[in-house]
Amino acid sequence: MARTRTTDADDLPRYFVWVRGLEGPEPQKWMAMDFGIGDWKRPLVLAYLELPPDERRLTLSALARRYPAPRVDP
């Protein structure tokens, strides 16, 4: 019998983040808001949102439809 792993809500990504990608904004899911270590991530982050527990299991595409990318001036 196959065992399924039960996932604690604390193990799931807590933030939906839009970052600056090579071809425009790209969605990502982060476990923590780690802007740290020399602030190297800060210029890449365009927008972020702390996810409520019921949205943490959603796919990136579902979150991207729900929370569209911010406008980015070239």
Sign of CA dihedral 46, 47, 48, 54: negative
Q: State both tokens at 71.
A: 């406008």
DSSP 61: H
The band of 11, judged by pLDDT with boundaries at 50, 70 and 90, is confident
pLDDT tens column, 16-58 = 999 988 889 999 998 876 655 556 567 788 999 999 999 999 9
**pTM of the model as a whole:** 0.73
| DSSP assignments along 33-53, one per residue | ----TTTTSGGGEEEEEEPPG
